[in-house]
Amino acid sequence: MSQSPPRTWDEFMEGIWRQNPVFVMVLGMCPTLAVTVSGVNALSMGVATTFVLVFSCGLISLLRKLIPKEVRIATYIVIIATFVTVVDYVIQAVSLALYDALGAFIQLIVVNCIILGRAEAHASKTPPGVAMINALGMGVGFTIGLLALGTVREIFGAGTLFGVALFGESFQPWVVMVLPPGGFFVLGSWLLFFAALERRKQRKLAEATQNA
């Protein structure tokens, strides 16, 4: 790695803020909405995806000069599927309860657009070190996105956070939050929130340039 530290930091931060996979690029929606009924599920899904993302991007980047252009997508998918199989068996061995909670969505990491998108757009063009750091940033950004959804849905839908009860006995959970429509609503609200934030920033910028 001949990159200077700021550049590397930039690669890492890209996925967390400027190109956050969940909130900015709106990629990988299926696991985002399906598994985020609780904070624990969201966190484990995020970690599993990050693992696959980092290692497949690293391997693809190592092999980038060997893979013929015509069959690159197929090669990427086979590499990704290999790492997902590893994660699948690891989760099954570590915690069966978690495995049942996440269900088929662990195996569906294969078709998560974020991973293939990173492989195609980034890892196939950069050396392994940079590619892995960028992938790690993306993974962390994805995990943050999942947590943002999972915690909100758990707090409202079950009155707990990571399994710890937050409210008293009399709390009536909003069941709709842990049901499918809740996922759509919460993600929609987050996107609205970020859009409003962006709007405010632009207005302030415009005012600043006018005053100057």
| By CB under 8 A, residue 73 contacts other proteins | yes
Q: Which two tokens stand for residue 98?
A: 């978690």
State the number of CA atoms in the 13 A half-sphere of 105 facing the CB: 22
Distance CA 22, CA 158 (A): 23
Instruction: Supply the minimum distance, in Å, between the C-beta of residue 114 and other proteins.
Output: 10
Kindly state the DSSP code that residue 126 receives in the 8-state scheme.
S
SS3 (DSSP) at 169: coil
Closest by CA to 148, choosing from 74, 46, 77, is 46
Q: Which stretch binds other proteins (CB under 8 A): 13-21, 45-53, 129-137, 192-200?
A: 192-200
Contacts with other proteins in 21-40 (CB under 8 A)?
26-27, 29-31, 33-34
* Total binding residues toward other proteins, as defined by CB under 8 A: 41
One-letter amino acid identity for 159? G
Tell which one of 1, 9, 18, 74 touches other proteins (CB under 8 A).
74
Closest by CA to 40, choosing from 85, 100, 82, is 100
| By CB under 8 A, residue 206 contacts other proteins | no
Tell which one of 43, 111, 161, 178 touches other proteins (CB under 8 A).
111
Chain residues that interact with other proteins, rule: CB under 8 A:
26-27, 29-31, 33-34, 73-74, 77-78, 81-82, 84-85, 88-89, 104, 107-108, 110-113, 116, 176, 179-185, 187-189, 191-192, 195-196, 199
